[in-house]
């Protein structure tokens, strides 16, 4: 194996568009942390939500194709930043442990899938393979005083028997990583509540209600910003924040980061490499406050 932390990287479709800043910051952070990402050659869409609502075999085959593509790579496993892609990959792998199911999936592939590579989120790799301590040691610009509500979304840890990572009701991985980069993690209770997910298009009122509640409670907890690990959560909370404010007559101006952006910031990576300018709610003032406090401390 080439290096101790080399993984086949599955960027996912949203990483090419709506959450390009998640993809870019993930790559930048992994590079800085010595985690080598090798893109799965010729990867394809995981099927997202539509595939598995129509056909489990087809849905599994879409993910299995990507797993197959990674099987000849010299890597320790497949990782992806997106919880939805992760769910599809892991559920496919989980279901293929059933021989009969796997046969049907293999029929749809060019060659049978070995299905023996571990599949993890980037978050799990940073948390378990590197760890908060090792991360803290690399921090150059601690995010001192930044009050964060950590929001994991509903599918990162669920169902627990498939996802097999952290607690499914009260996950703490991102909390510990954020503490490691110097931020202050608020006791945000709705860590795994649903944001409304893709209802943003079909039933906007559902998202304004559910995501609105997340913002309300985050603000009540004293958080100045939220930190997420999911492109859809981030989009609902950030891009739709104006819609939410309009619907609920609220006035949130809550920056919503990807956790990779904040780790990158603490590691001293450039704003450009983290694409902070892609966020809809401008987080600039938060970093200026940290900077001001740091200069004051220095004097």
Each residue 179-198 as x (binds other proteins by CB under 8 A) or -, in order, gives --------x-xx--x-----
Question: Contact between 162 and other proteins (CB under 8 A)?
Answer: no
Question: Contact between 169 and other proteins (CB under 8 A)?
Answer: yes
Q: Which stretch binds other proteins (CB under 8 A): 8-16, 164-172, 227-235, 270-278?
A: 164-172
Q: Which stretch binds other proteins (CB under 8 A): 24-32, 75-83, 167-175, 238-246?
A: 167-175
Q: Which is nearer to other proteins, 172 or 247 (CB)?
A: 172
Alpha carbon separation from 190 to 40, 50, 162 (Å, rounded) = 34, 26, 22
Tokens 């450009």: give the residue: 272
Taking each helix axis from N to C end, the angle separating 231-238 and 204-220, rounded to the nearest 10 degrees, works out to: 80
Question: Contact between 239 and other proteins (CB under 8 A)?
Answer: no
Longest pairwise C-alpha distance within the chain: 68
Alpha carbon separation from 134 to 1, 12, 123, 126 (Å, rounded) = 22, 28, 14, 9
Write the CB contacts of 292 (distance below 8 Å, at least 6 apart in sequence). Answer: none
204: its two tokens? 């906007």
Q: Which is nearer to other proteins, 229 or 274 (CB)?
A: 229
Smallest gap from residue 208 Cβ to other proteins (A): 17
Coil/strand/helix, residue 220: helix
Q: Which is nearer to other proteins, 81 or 171 (CB)?
A: 171
Q: Which is nearer to other proteins, 124 or 157 (CB)?
A: 157
136: its two tokens? 């803290």
Question: Contact between 139 and other proteins (CB under 8 A)?
Answer: no
Site residues for other proteins, window 203-222 (CB under 8 A)? 217, 220
Smallest gap from residue 217 Cβ to other proteins (A): 7
Tokens 């859809």: give the residue: 232
Query: Do residues 165 and 118 make contact, with C-beta atoms less than 8 angstroms apart?
Result: no
Residue 98 and residue 117: Cα distance in Å, rounded?
16
Smallest gap from residue 172 Cβ to other proteins (A): 10
Question: Contact between 72 and other proteins (CB under 8 A)?
Answer: no
| Site of interaction with other proteins (CB under 8 A) | 167-170, 187, 189-190, 193, 217, 220
């Amino acid at each position: 194996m080439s290096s101790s932390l080399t993984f086949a990287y599955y960027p996912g479709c949203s990483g090419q568009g709506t959450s390009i800043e998640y993809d870019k910051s993930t790559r930048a952070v992994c590079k800085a942390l010595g985690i080598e990402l090798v893109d799965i050659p010729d990867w394809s869409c995981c099927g997202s939500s539509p595939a598995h609502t129509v056909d489990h075999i087809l849905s599994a085959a879409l993910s299995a194709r990507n797993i197959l593509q990674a099987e000849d790579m010299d890597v320790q496993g497949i990782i992806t930043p997106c919880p939805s892609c992760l769910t599809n990959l892991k559920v496919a792998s989980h279901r293929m442990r059933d021989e009969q199911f796997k046969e049907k999936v293999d029929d749809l592939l060019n060659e049978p899938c070995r299905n023996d590579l571990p599949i993890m989120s980037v978050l799990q790799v940073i948390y378990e393979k590197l760890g908060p301590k090792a991360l803290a040691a690399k921090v150059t610009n601690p995010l001192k005083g930044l009050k964060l509500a950590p929001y994991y979304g509903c599918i990162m840890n669920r169902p627990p028997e498939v996802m097999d990572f952290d607690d499914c009701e009260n996950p703490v991985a991102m909390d510990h990583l954020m503490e490691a980069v110097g931020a202050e993690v608020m006791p945000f209770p709705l860590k795994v509540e649903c944001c409304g997910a893709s209802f943003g298009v079909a039933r906007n009122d559902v998202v304004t209600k559910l995501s609105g509640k997340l913002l309300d409670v985050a603000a009540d907890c004293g958080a100045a910003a939220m930190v997420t690990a999911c492109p859809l959560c981030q989009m609902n909370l950030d891009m739709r924040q104006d819609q939410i404010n309009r619907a609920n007559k609220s006035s949130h101006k809550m920056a919503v980061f990807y956790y990779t952006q904040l780790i990158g910031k603490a590691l001293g990576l450039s704003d450009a490499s983290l694409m902070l300018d892609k966020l809809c709610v401008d987080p600039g003032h938060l970093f200026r406050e940290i900077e001001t406090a740091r200069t004051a401390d220095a004097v």
